[in-house]
Structure 1
Amino acid sequence: MFTKIAIAMIGAALIVYLLGKISNALCNSREKAPQED
């Protein structure tokens, strides 16, 4: 029972983390093209 909750929490955290990275990269590439590396 606890393992399912832990797996669900870890999965949700990973999804949020990946979505944040993707949206951050998209915003950065849209706003200021190749200025910061």
Structure 2
Amino acid sequence: MENALKRDLRPAVRQRYATIRLLHLGYKPAQVAEIKR
């Protein structure tokens, strides 16, 4: 999945992956929203 992120040129895909990754690492949705600002 990380390889797909690095190869994909679409910004929306990269942003979505980064958000999912943070949630997977244990961040709460409110924290992720704050980071993404």
Could you say which structure has the larger radius of gyration?
1
Q: Which has the higher helix share?
A: 1
* Greater relative CO (CA pairs within 8 A, separation 6+): 2
Q: TM-score, normalised by structure 2?
A: 0.45
TM-score, length-normalised on structure 1?
Answer: 0.45
